[in-house]
Amino acid sequence: MLAVRQGTAEPAPSAECAAAEPAVRVDPAAVPEGPVAGYAGEQLANAAAIVNAAADLGLDTCAQVVGVMTAMGESSLRVLDHGDAAGPDSRGLFQQRDNGAWGSYADRMDPTTSATNFFRALQEVPGWRALPPTIAAHRTQRNADPYHYQRWWDDAVEVVGALAGRPVLGAGS
């Protein structure tokens, strides 16, 4: 299915992202303490940094939820200073590798910068909005399992909604 937007044909958004709307902004001082979907405190503050990075780039609520979902799957929304067996040099919220694509160590450890770099890479994925969110995240992160992130979608929708102070992507409707 194709949707015509601004005179160009592009793939229609995935079912998960069909209800996307303009990005929400989060006041870092107003982040709920939680728990929200099992996340609290610093984790929700990190989710707010991800949400605001997407807003700064002019992305929508779908991108915001994809970013939060990805960081949930990579680090449980924590800034990790260690990797794993598959990526011992991975760091930060998105477990970004030290391969030059994700910036310096400081960039990968900074929630806003690492999220911004994630969203810039997401925008380079052809037709990302038409893909299932887990596939869009997989193509951005280049991890082994394309369905790794899927289990965090609903939690990410809930967290972004809590940060926004209202449901997003049709949740609760």
Residues 94-131 pLDDT 10s = 998 787 788 898 999 999 999 999 999 999 999 999 99
Q: What is the pLDDT of residue 112?
A: 98
- Using alpha carbons only, give the angle 14, 20, 21 rounded to the nearest 5 degrees: 160
Per-residue pLDDT at 35 exceeds 50? yes
- Of 156, 168, 161, 147, the closest CA to residue 68 belongs to 156
- Of 79, 61, 27, the closest CA to residue 156 belongs to 61
How far is it, in rounded angstroms, from Cα 13 to Cα 112?
26
Residues 47-82 pLDDT 10s = 999 999 999 999 999 999 999 999 999 999 999 988
Q: Model confidence at 11, in pLDDT bands (50, 70, 90)?
A: low
Given a contact cutoff of 8 angstroms between Cβ atoms, the answer to whether 149 and 135 are in contact is no
- Of 90, 80, 82, the closest CA to residue 46 belongs to 80
Question: What angle in degrees, to the nearest 10, is found between the helix axes of 61-75 and 42-56?
Answer: 140
Given a contact cutoff of 8 angstroms between Cβ atoms, the answer to whether 107 and 48 are in contact is no
This prediction's pTM: 0.89
Whether omega before 35 lies within 30 degrees of 0, making that bond cis, reads yes
DSSP annotation string for 2-38 = EEEETTEEEEPPPGGGTT--BPP---GGG---S-BTT
| Rounded alpha-carbon distances, angstroms, from residue 122 to 30, 117, 118, 127 | 28, 9, 6, 10
Structure tokens, 158:
């809930």
